[in-house]
Structure 1
Amino acid sequence: MAPKRPISKATLASTVGTALEWYDFSLYGIASALVLSQVFFPGENQTLAVLASLGTFAVGFFARPVGGVIIGILGDRFGRRLMLFVTLLLMAVSSTLIGLLPSYSQIGVWAPILLVFLRILQGLGAGGEYAGAMLLSAEHAPAKRRGLNAAIPSAGNALGSLMATGIYFLVQSVLPHEDFIAWGWRIPFLLSIILAVAAFIIRLRVSESPEFEQGHQEEKPAVPRFREVFRLGGRRIPLAMVMSISPNVLSYLPSVYALSYLATTVGASEWIGLFGIIIANLLKLITIPVAGLLCDRFGGKSLMIIGSVSGAVLFYPFFWMLDTGTPVWIWAALVLIFTLCCDLTLASQATMLSGLFDVRVRYTSVTFSREITGALVGGTLPFVAAALTSSSDGSPWLVAMYCSVMCLLCAGATYFLPSTRHMDPHAIESPAQSVSR
C-alpha cells in the first residue's frame, strides 16, 4: 500500500470548497461594516445605522448553532460529505439573493426584514460548513499529520475572505462612490452563484470520511440522540465551548470591527483597512499550515494557550497602532492580531476539536461547542465593541479590556482539557477517564 500523503486529497478539496463558501460569509461582514447601513438603514444618526447593520451581522451568528446542530446530527447519521453540499447550497442561494435585494428606498421596512432572513440562511449554512470540512480533512489524514490537515481548511476561510475583500476593494475602487452605493456593492454578492458551481464540482471529487464509515461498520447506524453528545462528551463540551472564544475574538475584532473603527473613529480611508485585511489573509495561507505543523509537533493545547495569552497582552498595542492612522502601523497591527495570534488559536482549535469527541457524535459535538460560542462571542463582538467605544467617547480601552478577559478565559478552559496529541481517534476516553494532562 502506498504511504498516505502528508496533505490528503480530501483536505485540498475541502479547503477549496470552504474558501468558495466562506467568501459569502466574509463578504457580508465587510459590507455590514462599510455599506449596508447606508442601503438598508438610512437615517441621520450614523452611529445607530452602523449599529443596526452590525446587528444583522450578529443575526447570522445566532443562526449558526441551530444550523450547526441540525447539520451535525445529520452529518453523524448520513456522513460529512453530503452535508457539505447542503451547506454550500444554503450559502450560495442566500448570498446571491442579497445581491438582488431591493433597498430601503425601494420597498421600505421590508428591505431590512428580508436582509435579516437571508442572513439567517447564511448562518444556517455556515454553522455546519467549517466543522464538516475540518472533520473530513482530519479523518482522511495520517495520524502524524492530523493537526496539519485539520488546520488547513482554516486557510480556506482566509482564502475566501481574501477573495471577498479583494473583489469588494476592486469594485469600490473602479466605481464612483455614488454608483457603488447605488448598485456596485451588489456585484460581489452576485458572483456567489458562479463560485458555487465551481465548489460543487470540486466537492464531487471528495470521498466520505474513512473514520465515519468504519464507525458505522462496527456499530449499526442509529439516529444520534442529542443527549448522547453530552453523555459521551462530558465536561469536554463546556470546556470546548470556552476554548473556542479566542479564535472568535482574534478573528472578528480585527476583520470586522476594526474596519468600522478605522473609518468612523480614526477617520482613516476605507482602503487602508481593507488592504490590511488583504495582507493579513495572504500571510494566513502560510501561517495556518505552519501552525498546524506546530500542533503536530507540540500539541494543540499548548499553542491555544500561547495564542490566547499573546492576544490578551497585545490588544492595547493593537488599538494604539490603529489610532496612529498611519497605514504601515495599521497593517502591522492587523497582522499581529488577525494573523499571528489568531492563526495559532485557529489551528489549535481544529486540531483539538477533531480529536476530543467520539466519532459517532463528533460532527454534532464540534458544531455545538464551536457555534454556540461563535454566536455569543463572535456574532456580538462588533456590536459590543461599537457600543463600548461609543460609551467611552471614542476611546478603545474598554474594548481592549473586554477582549483581553475573553482570551484569558479561553486559555484557562484549554488548560483543563485533555491533550489530543497522538490521541487515537478511535479510542476516545469516556468522560470519567478524561483528566487534564
Structure 2
Amino acid sequence: MIFGPVIVAIVALLILLWTPINFKTVTPRKIDQASTSLDVRVLKGEGVKNAAEKENYIPIIGSSELSRMDPFHPSSMAQKYHWKNKPFLLGNPGTASLTQALNVSGMTGLKNQKAVVIISPQWFTKKGVPSDVFKYFLSPLQLTGFIVNSNHGDKKMNKYIANRILDLDDSLNTVETNALLRIADGKQITSFQRFYINRLTRSSLQSQDNLFGTISLNDHQKKIDQAVSKLPDNYNYKDLDKLAVKMAKNHSRENDLQIGDSFYRKQLYRRIHRYKNAHRHVDYNHSPEYNDFQAMLYLFNQNHTEVMFVIQPVNPKWIKYTGMPKDSLADFSKKITYQLKSQGFNNVVDLTHEKNPNYIAEDTIHMGWRGWLILDKHLEPYYKNKKADPNKTNYKMNSYFLTKKWANNTDF
C-alpha cells in the first residue's frame, strides 16, 4: 500500500522516457511562443525548432542581442508589417559558435532552408568561449545526435568538434566520452556505443524534450505587442529612422554615450570610470573562435542551408571612451568576411561600416534602435521565401579554417 503507487509511478515514468512514442505537445501556439521565448530549453532541444522549420519561421541564430526587443527588433517588425515568414530566435548570453554549431547539427529541418546568423566580435577573444559557459549550454540531446551521426559529413570537422568538446568539458558521461575520443581519433564509434547512445540515452532525451521542452516557456508576447503598438501603420523607412532616433534620445538621457538609461544605471553608472581607455589592447584577430565558427559553417554546408551573416556593430561612442584601437573592428570584419566569402557564404551584412552609426546600438555592444532598423531592411526581402536558393549554397569548404594557423592569421 505504501510502496505500490511509488513503484507504479517510477515504472510509468521509465516507460514515458524510453518508449519511442511521438508526444504531440508542440502545437502552433507553442511554436509561436517558443519563437521569441529565448528559453534555454528551446535552444538545447530539438523538437520545437524542427517543428518550426515546417511552418513559416526562419531562425535567427545569435546571442544576447536577441533579447533587446524594442519596436525595431525583427520580431516586432515582422508582426507589425506582416512578413511572410517570422523570426525564430535562438540565442542567449554566452552562446558562441561551438554551442551554435551543435544547435545547427540538431536542426534537421534546416536542410535546403534559410537561416540568419548574427556574429558578435566580442566572441573572438584570445581564449575563446569559457569552459564553464560552454558546459552550461552544452545540450546532451544535441551531443548524442552529433555522436550517432559522426560517420557522416566531413571527417576533419567531426574530429575538430569532438576534440574541442573534450577540451572544454571534462565532466562528460563515460560512454559519450569514449565515443568522442574515437571520433577525435578519426575512428567510427563502436556498435555498442551506437546502440547505447542512440537507443537508450538519446531516446530518453528525445522523450524528455517532447514532454517538457515547451512547458512554461518564457512569454515575451506582451513585450512585443507593446513594442509593436509604437510603430506607425504604414512602413516608411525614413519615417521609421526618425522615430528610432527620437526613441533612442528619449531613452538615453542620463549619459552622453548613446547607451540606454536602464542599462547604464544597472551596469555602468557606479563603475563607468573603470572603462576609460580600458580596451586599448583589444584584439579580435587571434582566437580559437574562428575555428569554432568554421565548424558551424560546415554544418550549414552539410544541410545546404542558405545563410545571411550579420556582423554586429559596437557602439562607436563606447569604442572611443574605452580607447579601443580604431582598426580592431575593421580588421575583424575583414578576417571573418574573408573566411565566409572565400567559401561561398556571400550574403554578409556588415553593420560595422555604417556611415551614420548614431544610435545603432542600444548599449555598448548590442544592436538596438537604428541598428535593428538597418538590419530589418535586409531581412524583410530575405524573409519572403524560406526555401534556400540552390545557386547560393554551392559552398567550397576549406579545412584550413579549422587550424590554429588560421585562428592567429593576420595576413589575408
TM-score w.r.t. structure 2 length?
0.30
Structure with the largest fraction of helix? 1
Of structures 1 and 2, the larger Rg is shown by 2
Structure with the largest fraction of strand? 2
